[in-house]
Amino acid sequence: MKIKGVEHIGIAITNLGECIATLKKTFGLKESHRERIEASNVEVVFFECGTTQIELVTPTSDASPISVFLSKRGNGIHHICLDVEDIEGWLAALKAKGIELIDSEPRRGAHGKKVAFLSPKSTCGFLIELSEQVE
Amino acid sequence: MKIKGVEHIGIAITNLGECIATLKKTFGLKESHRERIEASNVEVVFFECGTTQIELVTPTSDASPISVFLSKRGNGIHHICLDVEDIEGWLAALKAKGIELIDSEPRRGAHGKKVAFLSPKSTCGFLIELSEQVE
């Protein structure tokens, strides 16, 4: 099992419109996808940036974990998402290594991909998401 | 002028040895480069992750801006570095657009690359570095 690359970098923000304008006008990046993920209480907007994507994430309700992050520290880089194959195999292997999982089973993320978050307690204090493309 | 991609994601950490072990043993990533950047009072360790790199950054003295970040919030994702050509042209264009620059002129970063940080005040609250490969 091998990490294929960085699928995206997730950035938590309160001001979606302003951030979209900055990425487009200041850096010339192109919006590639926009989606509301009801189960996570977030809206996400993706920008292509070479082979990686920048994902802006904004909460759609106070029930979103993104709201907690934003209220603690304001806009900021929230997580790194790593592109994998066989996400179920990865989660089983990580669990066997003693890594604490936020999602013990994959759930559906943006683009219909299978995703799972790992606990930052087990990964040096920063948040890692795993993601697998569903054919 | 076009952003070529995400050159690396910078992660500020206090416990370099533990983080290196996590990225190697837990995720099977390979250490590709290690360097002490005296001018910035940091040590950096790079891991290949597809076409992007993960950079662990740890301060070598309290004079490092990384020390301030760590004392405020502990280990965490610190910045995104975007790969560009003509970094001087980029900085001039950003300045003309009213973007506040931390480095108005490029300086030498890891791998001898030309790098410059932009003020998060001008980029929605998250820290962006630009980087240009020097031939």
Mean predicted lDDT score pLDDT of chain A: 95
Q: State the sign of the Cα–Cα–Cα–Cα dihedral B50, B53, B54, B56.
A: positive
Residue B112: is its pLDDT beyond 90? yes
pLDDT at A27: 96
The torsion angles phi and psi of A56, rounded to 5 degrees, stand at -90, 130
pLDDT for residue A82 is more than 90: yes
Which positions in chain A touch B15 (Cβ < 8 Å)?
Answer: 124
Per-residue pLDDT band at A135 (split at 50, 70, 90): confident
The answer, yes or no, to whether residue A19 has pLDDT greater than 90, is yes
Question: Which region, left, alpha or beta, applies to residue B53 given φ > 0 means left and ψ of -120 to 50 means alpha?
Answer: beta
Residue type at B117 in one-letter notation: F
Instruction: Identify the contact set of chain A against chain B, taking CB-CB distances under 8 A.
Output: 1-6, 9, 11, 13, 15, 18-19, 22, 25-29, 49-52, 54, 73-80, 82-83, 94, 97, 99, 122-127
Rg (CA), chain B: 15
The CA distance from B55 to the nearest CA of chain A, in Å, is: 12
Domains by residue range for chain B, with CATH? 2-132 (3.10.180.10)
Distance from CA of A37 to the nearest CA of B (A): 22
Summarize the confidence of residues A11-32 as an average pLDDT. 96
Q: What is the pLDDT of residues A88-133, one digit of tens each?
A: 999 999 999 999 999 999 999 999 999 999 999 999 999 999 999 9
Instruction: Over range A56-71, report the average pLDDT.
Output: 94
**Structure-block tokens of residue A46:** 């993706």
Calculate ∠ Cα A24-A26-A29, nearest 5°: 35
- The C-alpha atoms of residue B89 and residue B112 are separated, in whole angstroms, by 19
Question: Position A24: which residue type?
Answer: K
pLDDT grade, residue A18 (50/70/90)? very high
Q: How close does chain B come to A81, measured CA to CA in Å?
A: 11
A4 contacts in chain B (CB < 8 Å):
50
CA distance B76 to chain A (A): 5
pLDDT at B81: 98
Residue B96: closest CA among chain A residues belongs to which residue? A26
**Residue among B23, B81, B121, B126 with most chain A CBs within 10 A, to mutate:** B126
In angstroms, rounded to a whole number, what is the distance separating the alpha carbons of residues A14 and A59?
8
Count of all residues that appear for chain A in the document: 135
Q: Give the tens place of pLDDT for each residue, B75-100.
A: 999 999 999 999 999 999 999 999 99
If we measure between CA atoms, which residue out of B37, B24, B62 comes closest to residue A2? B24
Question: What does the pLDDT read at residue B135?
Answer: 81
Best of A1, A4, A6, A123 to substitute, by most chain B Cβ atoms within 10 angstroms, is A6
pLDDT digits (tens, 9 = 90+) for B5-59: 999 999 999 999 999 999 999 999 999 999 999 988 999 999 999 999 999 999 9
The region that residue B97 occupies, defined by phi over 0 for left and psi between -120 and 50 for alpha, beta otherwise, is alpha
pTM score, whole prediction: 0.96
Mean pLDDT of chain B: 95
> What whole-number percentage of chain A has pLDDT above 70?
100
CA–CA distance, B18 with B1 (Å, rounded to integer): 39
pLDDT confidence of residue A76: 96
Do A80 and B77 lie within an 8 Å CB cutoff? yes
Computed over its alpha carbons, how large is the radius of gyration of chain A? Answer: 15
Contact A52, A33 (CB under 8 A): no
Flag whether pLDDT at A1 surpasses 90. no
